[in-house]
Amino acid sequence: MHTVTASEPPAPTATHCPYCALQCGMRVAPDATVSGREDFPVNRGALCGKGQSAAEVLSSRVRLTGPLVRSATTGRLEPAGWDEALDTIAAGLDRARTAHGPDANAVFGGGGLTNEKAYALGKFARTVLRTSQIDYNGRFCMSSAAAAGQLAFGLDRGLPFPLEDIPRTGCVLLVGSNPAETMPPALRYLTELKANGGTLIVVDPRRTRTAELADLHLAPRPGTDLALALGMLHLVVAQGRADEAYIRERTSGWEGARAAAMAHWPEYVERVTGVPVPRLREAVDLFAGAGEAMVLTARGPEQQAKGTDTVSAWINLALATGRPGRPHSGYGCLTGQGNGQGGREHGQKADQLPGYRKLADPAARAHVAGVWGVDPDSLPGPGRSAYELLDALGGDIRALLLMGSNPVVSAPRAAHVEQRLRSLDFLAVADVVLSETAELADVVLPVTQWAEETGTVTNLEGRVLLRRRALTPPDGVRSDLEVLRELAARLAPDLEKGFPADPEEVFGELRRASAGGPADYAGISYERLAQGDGVFWPCPEPDGAGTPRLFLDRFAHEDGRARFVPVTHRPAAEEPDAEYPVHLTTGRVVAQYQSGAQTRRVDELNRAAPGPFVELHPRLAARLGVAEGEDVAVVSRRGRAVAPARLTPGIRPDTVFMPFHWPGPGRANTLTNPALDPTSRMPEFKVCAVRVERV
Q: Are strands 443-446 and 426-431 parallel, antiparallel or unpaired?
A: parallel
Q: Are residues 484 and 628 in the same domain?
A: no
- Kindly tell me the sign of the dihedral angle through the C-alpha atoms of 438, 443, 444, 447: negative
Stretches in the chain below the pLDDT threshold 70: 1-9
Burial of 577 (0-12, 13-18, 19+ CB in 10 A): exposed
User: Considering 314, 334, 354, which residue would you say is the last residue of a domain?
Assistant: 334
* Helix/strand/coil for 397: strand
3-state secondary structure 486-520: HHHHHHCHHHHHHCCCCHHHHHHHHHHHHCCCCCC
- Calpha distance 362→276 (Å, rounded): 51
Rounded to whole angstroms, the Cα distance separating 77 from 85 reads 11
Q: Are residues 160 and 307 in the same domain?
A: yes
CB 119 within 8 A of CB 513: yes
Tell me if 541 is assigned to some domain: no
Do 396 and 490 lie in a common domain? yes
- Angle between the N-to-C axes of helices 225-238 and 254-262, in degrees from 0 to 180, rounded to the nearest 10: 100
The CATH number linked to 36 is 3.30.200.210
Quickly count: other Cβ atoms within 10 Å of residue 583's Cβ: 25
CATH code, domain with 187 = 3.40.228.10
Q: In terms of domains, do 314 and 428 share one?
A: no
Cβ-based burial of 278 (10 A; exposed 0-12, middle 13-18, buried ≥19): exposed
Distance, C-alpha 313 to centroid of its chain: 21
Task: Give me the pLDDT at residue 7, please.
Answer: 57
Q: How many domains does the chain have?
A: 4
Residue 274 CA to residue 267 CA, distance in Å, equals 10
Question: Taking the CA atoms of the chain, what radius of gyration do you get in angstroms?
Answer: 24
Among 334, 367, 402, the domain-final residue is 334
Residue type, 266: P
Residue 105 within any structural domain of the chain: yes
Does the residue 463 lie in any domain? no
Q: Is the residue at 552 inside a domain? A: no
Q: What are 564-581's pLDDT values in tens digits? A: 999 999 999 999 999 999
Each residue of 9-22: pLDDT tens digit? Answer: 689 999 999 999 99
Residues 244-261: pLDDT tens digits?
Answer: 999 999 999 999 999 999
Residues 595 and 680 in one domain: yes
Letter string b/e over residues 346-366, b meaning 16 or more CB atoms within 10 A of that residue's CB: bbbbbbbbbbbbbbeeeebbe
pTM to 2 decimal places: 0.96
Judgement on whether residues 75 and 118 belong to the same structural domain of the protein:
yes
**161 and 124 in a common domain:** no
CB-based burial label for 140 (10 Å; 0-12, 13-18, 19+): buried
Looking at the domain assignment, is residue 134 inside a domain?
yes
pLDDT confidence of residue 19: 96
CATH code at 672?
2.40.40.20
Distance of alpha carbon 106 from alpha carbon 416, whole angstroms = 18
Give the model's pLDDT for residue 8: 66
In which domain, by residue range, is 664 found? Answer: 582-694
If asked whether residues 168 and 262 sit together in one domain, one would say yes
pLDDT for 1 equals 43
CA distance 650 to 627: 16
Sign of CA dihedral 391, 386, 452, 506: positive
What is the predicted pLDDT for the residue at 432?
Answer: 96
Residues 6+ apart with CB under 8 A from 101: none
Show which of 334, 349, 367 is a domain's final residue: 334
Residues 136 and 147 both lie in one domain: no
Helix (H) or strand (E) holding 279: helix 277-289
Q: 191 φ, ψ to 5°? A: -70, -35
| Strand order across the beta sheet in which 535-536 lies | 455-458, 463-467, 535-536
Residues 688 and 655 in one domain: yes
Helix (H), strand (E), coil (C) string for 595-649: CCCCHHHCHHHHHHCCCCCEEECHHHHHHHCCCCCCEEEEEECCEEEEEEEEECC
Inter-residue contact 38 to 2 (CB < 8 Å) = no
The Cα 8–Cα 385 span in angstroms is 52
In a domain? residue 518: no
**Whole-Å CA distances, 475 to 81, 446, 469, 483:** 12, 10, 16, 15
Three-class DSSP category at 674 = strand
Q: Does residue 6 sit within a domain?
A: no
Strand 34-36 versus strand 25-28 pairing type: antiparallel
Residue 285: partners with Cβ closer than 8 Å, 6 or more residues away: none
In a domain, 174, yes or no: yes
Q: Are residues 281 and 386 in the same domain?
A: no
Residues 622 and 659 in one domain: yes
